A and B are shown apart, each in its own frame.
Chain A
Amino acid sequence: MKTNDENFVINLAISVGKIMLESGAEIYRVEETIERMISSKIDSKVDVFVLPTGIIVSAKSSTDSITRLERIQSSKIDLEAISRANSFSRIYTQNSLTDEELDVLLMSLTDIPKFSKKTTMFFTGLAGGLFTGLTGGSFLETIITFIASLSVGLILDKLSKFKPNFFIKNIIGGFLIATIGVLSYFLFKSFGINLDYNRIIIGSLMTLVPGVALTNGIRDLISGELIAGGARILEAIFIAIALAFGVGIALQISFSFV
C-alpha cells in the first residue's frame, strides 16, 4: 500500500508544503504542516527546514534516512490554495486513507479555482480607487486611481509573459502609476480643477505594496524563524525600494521638464 510508503509520504508532504509556500503562507505554518503530515504516517524522527526559496526535509528511522530538497521559485498570494492545502493536510493526518480515497482527496489540490482575469483586474482597480476615497480623496481622484490601478494591473499582467524579475517589474509598476497620476494632474489643471496627485499615486501603490510579505516576515521572525523571516522582510523592503524608485523617476522627470 503506497499510503504508508516512506518515500511516497515524504514526497506528498513536500508537494503540499510547496503549494502553501508558493501561495504565500507563513514559514512556521508550512514547517508545521509538513512535519505533522509525515509523522502521522511514518514512525521516524522528522526534521523540516523551510526557507522562502526552498524546502529541506529529512526523516531518520533506525535503519536509514531519507532527505529531500525542493526548490521554490516564486510566490504569489493565493488564499484559496492555502485553504485547500490546509484542509487536505488536516484530513490526511486525522484519517488513515485507502489509495482510492487519497486519489480523490488529491484532486482538490490539482485544480485550484481562480477568479477570472477580468474580475481580478476590475477589483484591483476598485481596491486602489476606493482606498483613495477612504483616505479623503475626492470623487474624481477616486475614479482616476481606479483607472490607474486597473491599467497598471493590466500592463504588468501583459509583461508577466516575459518573466521580468520582481525588482524590474515593480520599478515599471511604480513608474506607470506616477506617470498616470502626474499626467492626470496636469490634464485637469488645464481645466482649472486641482487634483492631489500624491493621493492618486498612494492609492494605486496600495495594490502593489508588499504588505503581506512584510507582516508574514515579521511574524516568522517573532516565532523564531530568523533566517526565513529575515529573507521575507528583505524581499519586501526591496519591492518597496523598487516601487519608490519607479515613482521617483517619473516624478523627477515630470517636474524637471514641465
Chain B
Amino acid sequence: MNFILQVILSFFSIFGFAIIFNIPRRSIFLASINGMIGWIVFFYIQKFSTNFILPPLIGSLIVGLIGEILAIYHKQPATLFIIPGIIPFVPGYGIYYTMFHILNNDLSNALSTGVESIFVAIAIACGVVVATSLTRFIRPYLERLLN
C-alpha cells in the first residue's frame, strides 16, 4: 500500500515540477516516469541505509542514465528528462533545518546539517555527471539499438 502511494504521489509531484519548468508536452509523461523510478530507488535506499550520500547519488545516477537513454531515443537534450527527476532529491529539508538550528542558537547542529546539504547537492550533480559520461561510452551501440 505504502509502495503504491509512493509511486502515485511521486509521479504527480514530478509531473507538477515538470510543468513549472515548462517542459515540452510530448516529453512530460516520460520525464515523470523517469523521476518516479528515481524517487522509488532513492526512497528504498534511504530506508535501508544510514548513509546520507548514497540515496541521492544512486537516485540521480538512475535518473541520469534513464534520461540519457530517453534523450537518444527521442533526439532531445537529456536535461529535459533529468531536471524534473532530480528536484525531489534537492536538500530542501537540509536548508530548512540549517536555518532552524541557527534560529535556536544551536550552531554545531546547524553546521553539520548545512555541510550535509552541501554534500547532498554535490552527490546529485556527481550522479548526473557519471551517468552522462557512462552513456558517452555506450552511445554508439545505443543509437544503433534504438534507431
Contact = CB atoms under 8 A, between A and B. Distances in A.
Interface of A: 25-26, 29, 77-83, 86-87, 114-115, 119-120, 123-128, 130-131, 133-135, 198, 201-202, 205-207, 209, 211-212, 214-215, 217-219, 222-223, 240, 243-245, 247-248, 251-252
B87 to A, nearest CB: 5
B61 interface: no
Contact of B99 (A119, A209, A248): A248
Decide if the interface of chain A is mainly helix, strand, loop or mixed. Answer: helix
Interface of B: 5-6, 9-10, 12-24, 27, 39, 43, 75-77, 79-80, 83, 86-90, 92-93, 95-96, 98-100, 102-103, 121-122, 124-126, 128-129
B107 to A, nearest CB: 14
Given A79-B22, A215-B128, A209 B92 contact: yes
Contacts of B22: 77-81, 114-115, 120
Contacts, number: 146
A198 B96 contact: yes
A82 B80 contact: yes
Given A79-B80, A83-B80, A134-B10, A124 B20 contact: yes
B77 A83 contact: yes
A78 B96 CA distance: 26
B79 A240 contact: no
A46 B10 CA distance: 45
Question: What 3 A-B pairs have minimum CB-CB distances, sorted nearest first?
Answer: A127-B16, A211-B90, A218-B125
A251 B23 contact: no
Contacts of B15: 123, 126-127
B9 A133 contact: yes
A215 B125 contact: yes
Candidate in B5, B12, B95, B126 with the most chain A CB atoms within 10 angstroms: B95
Given A202-B92, A215-B124, A218-B122, A78 B21 contact: yes
A134 B77 contact: no
A110 B103 CA distance: 47
Contacts of A82: 77, 79-80
